[in-house]
């Protein structure tokens, strides 16, 4: 190969510069083969990865955000990544919200393919056969709802026929928060073709043992949601949301579903209102969309006489606005009846906002009591007591512990765990 003097030529991603004389030069046999060996080594380390799960333009309730951020981490580590998402994710009876789609722009530099119809068995066969022929090194599949078991389980069975692809499931839930008939049957069908599992709570790990006790599984803490922008000042966030700077603000954030216990928190707000503590003047900022009827909550608010204590933003919160709600709050409250892990917790960690969580599922493990926040029992009296205690201690009491604790939750650890359990 002949090159002109001082010319830089790309070769399989590596730049090689010629010598200093003014004449043509020839790569030596050795130079060429060193480059070839380096290229082979890089190619061997790089994996072709497909993530199966929700992604833009689906909203996904945190799952789509997670998948997109996970894909970016795989890319940062030199892998090739595509996301296979849903053309139809939920039928209407499983999605009581207003819309399944976001108006936010698509994430840059991600290959998202909208291919899977959760209701169409012919589509499952087609997608499964397509992925089998692509022969990815690794498929990472999300599992959060047994309804998805037949669809995803069928796709994975086709992929396994290529005898090459490793399949790792990130299991958000194995036993759902809101049980339905056939849940167990659908989950059993799903887990069979999976090679290994990642869970993000000890509760899900325990549930998994009922369905796949012999398969490799590893607990990895839910990484931070660091893709909603950087932390801004409380004053700037409140100015944007038109909230007074002197107000004491409690935040309930995310989809409003029965298991998340907003009704318990509303009862706690009545207890606080009738108290003589500093927290009697606090206000509850509810930021999230109702997943079900709003009527029982409106009736409860009217009955308790706490309407003046509430700030309601009960539409879907676009990604671009998330930082304002988290940064405007004094504390995030998660009054859940049941839980595995919660996507709100890593979001609060990212924006360095202390939390009050209930003593259910994996929440106390993620929020050490009297360090990153406080742990209450899932009842109104206990939650009211912890809110009072929080404002007595003050936000700055928790910040040093929280900043230290958040170091545990990074995407590199998640990717390393997935690669290790898949290939070692």
- Does the pLDDT of residue 13 top 50, yes or no? no
Overall average pLDDT of the 207-222 stretch? 96
**pLDDT tens-place string over residues 142-159:** 999 999 999 999 999 999
**pLDDT tens-place string over residues 226-265:** 989 999 999 999 999 999 999 999 999 998 999 999 999 9
Residues of the chain with CATH 3.40.50.2000: 46-223+410-423, 234-408
- Does the pLDDT of residue 319 top 90, yes or no? no
Handedness of CA 241, 243, 246, 249 (dihedral sign): negative
Overall average pLDDT of the 198-215 stretch? 95
Cis peptide before 420 (omega within 30 of 0): no
Q: Please report the pLDDT score of residue 50 as a whole number.
A: 98
Q: Please report the pLDDT score of residue 61 as a whole number.
A: 60
Q: Which residues contact 69 (CB under 8 A, 6 or more apart)?
A: 223, 225, 226, 227, 411
Beta bridge partners of 138: 49, 166
**CA 367 vs CA 131, 409, 413: distances in Å:** 39, 12, 19
> CA–CA separation, 418 vs 416, rounded Å?
5
Q: Please report the pLDDT score of residue 72 as a whole number.
A: 97
Question: How far, in whole angstroms, is CA 43 from its chain's centroid?
Answer: 29
* Structure tokens that stand for 63 in this block: 């799952």
Q: Please report the pLDDT score of residue 359 as a whole number.
A: 96
Q: 41 burial class (0-12, 13-18, 19+ CB within 10 angstroms)?
A: exposed
- Does the pLDDT of residue 7 top 60, yes or no? no
> CA–CA separation, 237 vs 157, rounded Å?
48
Q: Please report the pLDDT score of residue 2 as a whole number.
A: 38
- Does the pLDDT of residue 310 top 90, yes or no? yes
**pLDDT tens-place string over residues 363-379:** 999 999 999 999 999 99
Q: Please report the pLDDT score of residue 99 as a whole number.
A: 58
> CA–CA separation, 424 vs 422, rounded Å?
6
* Summary mean pLDDT of the chain: 89
Q: Please, which pLDDT band fits residue 185 given cuts at 50, 70 and 90?
A: very high
Q: Please, which pLDDT band fits residue 284 given cuts at 50, 70 and 90?
A: very high
pTM of the model: 0.82
Q: Please report the pLDDT score of residue 94 as a whole number.
A: 58
Overall average pLDDT of the 198-202 stretch? 94
Q: Which residues contact 58 (CB under 8 A, 6 or more apart)?
A: 64, 85, 86, 89, 100, 101, 102
- Cα angle 318, 320, 326 (rounded to 5 degrees) comes to 90
Strands 8-11 and 2-3: unpaired
> CA–CA separation, 397 vs 211, rounded Å?
43
Q: Of 152, 148, 150, 141, whose CA–CA distance to 49 is shortest?
A: 141
Overall average pLDDT of the 274-297 stretch? 94
> CA–CA separation, 67 vs 73, rounded Å?
10
> CA–CA separation, 222 vs 344, rounded Å?
10
Q: Please, which pLDDT band fits residue 97 given cuts at 50, 70 and 90?
A: low
Handedness of CA 228, 231, 236, 242 (dihedral sign): positive
**pLDDT tens-place string over residues 26-82:** 444 455 555 544 444 444 579 999 999 999 998 656 899 999 999 999 999 999 999
**Looking at the domain covering 234-408, what would its CATH class be?**
alpha beta
Q: Please, which pLDDT band fits residue 162 given cuts at 50, 70 and 90?
A: very high
Largest CA distance in the chain: 90
**CA 220 vs CA 44, 197, 208: distances in Å:** 26, 10, 14
- Cα angle 302, 305, 307 (rounded to 5 degrees) comes to 75
Overall average pLDDT of the 346-364 stretch? 95
* Structure tokens that stand for 323 in this block: 């930082």
Is residue 32 within a helix (H) or strand (E), and if so which, with residue range?
Answer: helix 29-45
Q: Please report the pLDDT score of residue 330 as a whole number.
A: 98
Q: Please report the pLDDT score of residue 34 as a whole number.
A: 55
Q: Are 97 and 316 in contact (CB under 8 A)?
A: yes
Instruction: Give the residue with greater pLDDT, 102 vs 351.
Output: 351
Overall average pLDDT of the 103-120 stretch? 90
* Structure tokens that stand for 131 in this block: 């992925």
| Domain 46-223+410-423 CATH superfamily | Glycogen Phosphorylase B; (3.40.50.2000)
């Amino acid at each position: 190969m002949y090159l002109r003097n001082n010319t830089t030529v790309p070769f399989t991603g590596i730049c090689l510069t010629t010598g200093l004389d003014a004449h043509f030069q020839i790569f030596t046999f050795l130079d060429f083969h060193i480059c070839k060996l380096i290229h082979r080594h890089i190619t061997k380390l790089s994996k072709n990865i497909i993530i199966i799960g929700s992604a833009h333009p689906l909203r996904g309730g945190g799952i789509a955000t997670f998948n997109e951020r996970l894909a970016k981490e795989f890319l940062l580590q030199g892998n090739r990544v595509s996301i296979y998402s849903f053309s139809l994710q939920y039928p209407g009876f499983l999605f009581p919200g207003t819309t399944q789609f976001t108006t936010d722009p698509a994430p840059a530099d991600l290959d998202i393919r909208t291919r899977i119809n959760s209701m169409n068995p012919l589509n499952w066969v087609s997608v499964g056969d397509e992925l089998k022929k692509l022969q990815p090194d690794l498929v990472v599949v999300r599992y959060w709802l047994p309804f998805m078991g037949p669809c995803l389980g069928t796709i994975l069975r086709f992929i396994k026929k290529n005898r090459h692809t490793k399949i790792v499931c990130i299991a958000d839930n194995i036993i759902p928060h809101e049980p339905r008939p056939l849940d167990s049957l659908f989950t059993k069908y799903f887990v069979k073709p999976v090679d290994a599992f990642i869970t993000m709570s000890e509760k899900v790990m325990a549930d998994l043992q009922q369905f796949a006790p012999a398969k490799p599984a590893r607990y990895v803490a839910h990484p931070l949601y660091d893709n909603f922008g950087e932390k801004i000042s409380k004053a700037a966030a409140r100015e944007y949301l038109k909230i007074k700077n002197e107000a004491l603000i409690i935040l309930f954030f995310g989809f409003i579903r029965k298991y998340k216990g907003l009704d318990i928190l509303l009862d706690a707000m009545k207890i606080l209102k009738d108290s003589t503590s500093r927290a009697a003047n606090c206000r509850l900022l509810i930021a999230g969309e109702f997943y079900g009827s709003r009527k029982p909550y409106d009736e409860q608010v009217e009955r308790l006489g706490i309407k003046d204590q509430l700030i309601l933003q009960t539409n879907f919160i676009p990604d671009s606005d998330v930082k304002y709600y988290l940064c405007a709050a004094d504390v995030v409250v998660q009054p859940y009846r049941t839980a595995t892990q919660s996507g709100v917790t890593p979001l609060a960690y990212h924006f360095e906002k202390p939390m009050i969580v209930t003593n259910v599922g994996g929440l106390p493990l993620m929020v050490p009591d009297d360090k990153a926040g406080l742990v209450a029992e899932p009842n109104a009296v206990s939650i009211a007591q912890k809110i009072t205690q929080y404002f007595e201690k003050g936000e700055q009491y928790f910040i040093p512990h929280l900043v230290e604790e958040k170091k545990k939750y990074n995407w590199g650890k998640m990717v390393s765990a997935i690669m290790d359990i898949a290939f070692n």
